[in-house]
Chains A and B, each alone.
Chain A
Amino acid sequence: MKTNKITDCIWEIPPTEKEGMRVPARIYATDKLLKEMDDGVFEQITNVACLPGIQRYALCMPDGHWGYGFPIGGVAAFSTRDGVISPGGIGFDINCGMRLIRTDLTLADVKPRLRDLLNLLFNKVPAGVGAKGFVKIDKKELAEVMTRGVNWCIKKGYGWAQDRDRIEGGGCLPGGDPSHVSHQAVERGIGQLGTLGSGNHYLEIQVASMENVYDEKLARAVGIFGQDQVVVMVHCGSRGFGHQIGTDYLRLFDTAMKKYGMTVKDRQLSCAPFRSPEGQAYYSAMVCAANMAFANRQVITHRIREAFSQIFNEDAERLGLETIYDVAHNVAKIETYDIEGKPTELLVHRKGSTRCFGPSRSEVPTLYRDWGQPVIVGGSMETGSYLCLGTGKAEAETFGSTMHGSGRTMSRHAAKRMIRGTDLQRRMEEHGILVKAVSMSGLAEEAGAAYKDISDVVDTMDAAGISKKIVQLKPIGNIKG
C-alpha cells in the first residue's frame, strides 16, 4: 500500500489506495516503527477511512498494531449529525485505562517493605480469571455506578473528593442509561468491582528518579518531585460488564446495518448511525461501562491507600497518596473541534489511544489548566512507563489523541515459547522487579520482549509535538492476573 512521508513522524495513505476511502489515513511513526508495523494496521486503518461521517483523517498512533475492526492505536472522529458509532472503534474492554497515584515515599522507604506491600496488594486487589471484587452491591446500586461513576465511590467512602478532579471527565461521563444495558452485562459485572482482570492488566509500583525526569518544572506541577519517588500505576477496565456490552452491541449492529443500508469492509467494523436508536442505545450503554471502569479504578485506588497505610502505619493522606490522573484509552467521547473554521461537535473514537488535551482546554482540570492534561502511557512490566502532558498541537492534528502504551510485536504463543513464567519472574527479581502473578503462563505472555520499545513510541509523539514526555517511571513491583 502506497504510504507517503509527510514529516519524519507522519505518514499518509491517500484515499486513492482503497475504494471507498472518504479521507486519507495517517500513521504517526518513525521510519523504524513504520517498518515494524504489521500489514493489518494498514489494512484496518484504510477500512476505518471508509466509514460514513469520518472527519479529516483515520489516524493510527506509533504503538499501532492490528486489532478488531480498528487497529489498536486507532483514532477516528465522526460527525455526530451524520456519522457513525462503531464498537470496534472502542473495543470490548470499554474504558480500559490507566490511573497514576503519587506518594511522598521514596525507594529507600518502600524497598525494605516491598514484598510485604506486594503480598498485601495481591490480597486486596483480586486479579485473574474468576476474581471476585470486595465491593458488594445490588442491582440498584450498580445502576447508580453506571450513571454516577466515581461520584458513587466517593459517596460510599471509596475515595477522596479531590479524586474526581483528577480523572478524565470527572470520573463520570454524562448520558449513561442503564435501561440499555443487558441483564447479562449486569450479572457478569456485579461481582467484579475492585478486580484487576488479567492479560496485560496490572498494578505496578514504580520509581521516578531524577535522571528520568525530562522537565522538572512540569513534573513538579503534576506532583512528581523525582528523587526516587514511589508512584503506583493501575491498568484495567470495565471487566465483564463492559465486555458483555461490547458483545451485545457488536451482535446487534451486525444485523442492524442492513436496516440502514450500510456495509463495512470488516465485520468487526459493524456500526450504526450515531443518531439512530441503536447508535444512541450503544452510546448510552458504553457510557455506563466507562463509568463502571472509572469506579473500578477508584475502588482499587482505595485498596491501594489501605495497603500503604497498613504497611507504613500512617494515614494515606499523610503519605501523600494523591491521584495524579486517570485516563481512558478505549472510549468514544463527544468533543468539539474546529472543522473548516466552525466549532463542530464530533464523536471521537479512541481504541488503544489516549486523550491528550493541551493547556487552556476546558476539559482539563483547573489544577492542570496551565500545563496540559497528564497522559499516562503504560509500558511492559520490564521496561516501565511514562507520564506525558497533552499539547494544543494534538487538538489541531490528532483530535487531541496520542499513544496508550508500547504495543505488542510478538504473539502470546511466541512469548511463552521464548520464556517460562517462573524463569521470567526470577530474571525480573534479579533486575530488582518483584512480580506476583495469578497465572505463570499469563506472565510469560507479558514479557518485555513481546512489546515495542516504549521509548521509541513516546519519543515519536514528543518529536511530533503531540504529547510532551515529562518523566519515565521504572517498575519495582508488579501484580498481574
Chain B
Amino acid sequence: MTQAYTFLENVVLSDMAFEAKGDTPAELFQAAAQALFEGMANTRRLRPRIRKEIRLRNTQIDQLMYDWLSELIYLKDKEGLLFREFSVELSQNSEWNLTATVRGERIDPKRHSLRSDAKAVTYHQFEVVQTETGGWKARVVVDI
C-alpha cells in the first residue's frame, strides 16, 4: 500500500512535521492519524485490540483536522493507548461531520519500539487544502 504521508525533515528542528494526502477528506484524515502515531512508535508492532469511537464536527475542515489529531493525542495520554488502524467517515452539510473508529492497544515500552511523545498539534505552517487535481493534502507540525 502506498504510504499516504511523508515526514518533512527541514521544516522543524526539534519536533515532528509531516504532509499527508488523500483522494478524499476521509482518506486524508486517516493518513494524518497514521503519520502522527508512526512518529510515536513503530505502528506495525501495535495490535488492534482496543476500539474507540470518535465523533467531531466543525465548520472549518482545518479546525476539524486540528481537533481530530488533538483528540487522538488526548486519548493517548488519558488511556495510555497507541493506535494503528483508522476508519474515518466525513460528510459535509452546514458543517463537516467526522465519525471514526480507531483501533490500537495499551502502550508497552518493551514491545512497541517507542519514538517521540506528541504533546500538541501546532498551527505552525498548518494547512488543509484541496489540490488542483481534486485530492486533499495537509501539512502538520506536532510539538514533541
Q: Cα distance A192–B117 when bound, in Å? A: 13
Q: Which residues of B contact A187 (CB under 8 A)?
A: 74, 77-78
Cβ–Cβ < 8 Å partners of B96 in chain A:
none
In the bound complex, how far is the Cα of B41 from the Cα of A198, in angstroms? 13
User: Which of B15, B70, B115, B122 meets A439, CB within 8 Å?
Assistant: B115
Shortest Cβ distance from residue A47 to the other chain B in the assembled complex, whole angstroms: 12
Contacts of A92 in B (CB 8 A): 119-120, 122, 143
Contact A184 B117 (CB under 8 A): no
In the bound complex, CA of A441 to CA of B115 (Å):
6
> From residue B57, how far is it (CB to closest CB) to chain A in Å?
15
Assess the A130–B70 pair: CB atoms within 8 A. Answer: no
Contacts of A412 in B (CB 8 A): 13-16, 116
Number of A-B contacts (CB under 8 A): 123
CA distance A467 to B76 in the complex (A): 40
On chain A, the residues within 8 Å of B115 by CB distance are 129, 439, 441-442
- Complex interface: stretch among A246-254, A280-288, A383-391, A454-462: A246-254
- Say yes or no: B9 contacts A247, CB within 8 Å: no
Q: Residue A68 contacts which of B109, B112, B113, B123 (CB distance < 8 angstroms)?
A: B123
Given contacts A129-B40, A197-B117, A408-B14, contact A184 B74 (CB under 8 A): yes
List chain A residues, Cβ under 8 A from B33.
none
Q: Which positions 52-100 of chain A face chain B at CB distance < 8 Å?
A: 65-68, 72, 92-93
A276 to chain B minimum Cβ distance, whole angstroms, is: 20
- Which residues on B sit within 8 Å (CB–CB) of A65? 13-14
**Neighbouring A residues of B4 by C-beta, 8 Å:** none
- Judged by a CB distance under 8 angstroms, whether A147 is at the interface is no
Chain A residues touching B, range? 35 or more
Q: Which of A247, A266, A408 contacts B121 (CB 8 A)?
A: A247
| Contact bitstring B60-95, A, C-beta under 8 A = 1, else 0 | 000100110010011011101010000000000000
Whether B123 and A268, one on each chain, are in contact in the complex, defined by CB atoms closer than 8 angstroms, is: yes
- The reply to whether the CB of B124 lies closer than 8 angstroms to some CB of chain A is yes
Name the contact of A411 in the complex, choosing from B13, B82, B109, B113 (C-beta under 8 A).
B13
Q: Mark B11-24, 1 if CB is under 8 A from A, else 0.
A: 01111100000000
Residue A413 at the chain B interface, CB threshold 8 Å: yes
Task: Give Cα distance in the complex from A52 to B83, angstroms.
Answer: 42
Q: Are A200 and B116 in contact (CB under 8 A)?
A: no
Given A68-B124, A199-B116, A184-B40 contact (CB < 8 Å): no
A268 lies within 8 A of B76 (CB): no
B120 partner, pick from A67, A243, A438, beta carbons under 8 A: A243
Q: Evaluate contact between A130 and B119: CB separation under 8 angstroms.
A: no
Please tell me if A107 contacts chain B, counting CB pairs below 8 Å.
no
The answer to whether A408 and B116 touch (CB under 8 A), given A128-B109, A130-B76, A184-B74, is no
Quick check: B123 and A132 within 8 Å, CB to CB? no
Q: Select one of B7, B78, B109 contacting A413, CB under 8 A.
A: B7
Q: Check if B107 is an interface residue, CB within 8 A of chain A.
A: yes
**Chain B positions 4-54 with a Cβ under 8 Å from a chain A Cβ:** 7, 9-10, 12-16, 40-41
Q: B15, B82, B106, B117 — which one has the most chain A CB atoms within 10 A of its CB?
A: B117
B143 touches A68 (CB 8 A): yes
**A106 interfacial by beta-carbon distance below 8 Å:** no
CA distance A250 to B114 in the complex (A): 28
With A92-B143, A409-B13 as given contacts, are A240 and B123 in contact (CB-CB < 8 Å)? no
Q: How far is the CB of A418 from chain B (nearest CB, A)?
A: 13
| Chain B residue nearest to A441 in the complex (CB) | B115
B81 to chain A, nearest CB (A): 8
Chain A, 200-258, CB within 8 A of any chain B CB? 200, 240, 243-244, 246-247, 250-251, 254
Complex Cα distance A409/B124, Å? 19
Contact (Cβ within 8 A) B82 A439: no
Question: Which of A129, A132, A270, A409 lies at the interface centre, i.e. has the most chain B CB atoms within 10 A of its CB?
Answer: A129
Check B66–A240 contact: CB distance below 8 A: no
A198 to B124, CA, bound (A): 21
* CB-based contact A442/B77 at 8 Å: no
When distances are taken between beta carbons in the complex, the residues of chain A under 8 Å from B13 are 38, 65-66, 408-412
Smallest Cβ distance from B119 to chain A, in angstroms? 4
Q: Does A168 belong to the interface (CB within 8 Å)?
A: no
Docked-complex contact B122 and A411, CB < 8 angstroms: no
Query: In whole angstroms, how far apart are the Cα atoms of A132 and B41 in the complex?
Result: 17
- Whether B116 lies near A439 (C-beta < 8 A) is yes
* CB-defined contacts of A251 to chain B, threshold 8 Å: 63, 66-67, 70
4 nearest CB pairs, A to B? A130-B107, A240-B77, A267-B123, A188-B77
**CB pairs A–B below 8 angstroms (25 shown):** A38-B13, A129-B76, A129-B82, A129-B114, A129-B115, A129-B116, A130-B76, A132-B80, A184-B74, A198-B117, A199-B117, A240-B77, A243-B73, A243-B143, A247-B120, A251-B63, A270-B123, A409-B13, A410-B13, A412-B14, A412-B116, A413-B7, A438-B114, A439-B114, A445-B116
New A-B contacts (8) at CB < 8 Å, excluding given A132-B80, A410-B13: A68-B123, A128-B109, A129-B82, A130-B109, A199-B144, A267-B126, A408-B13, A442-B115
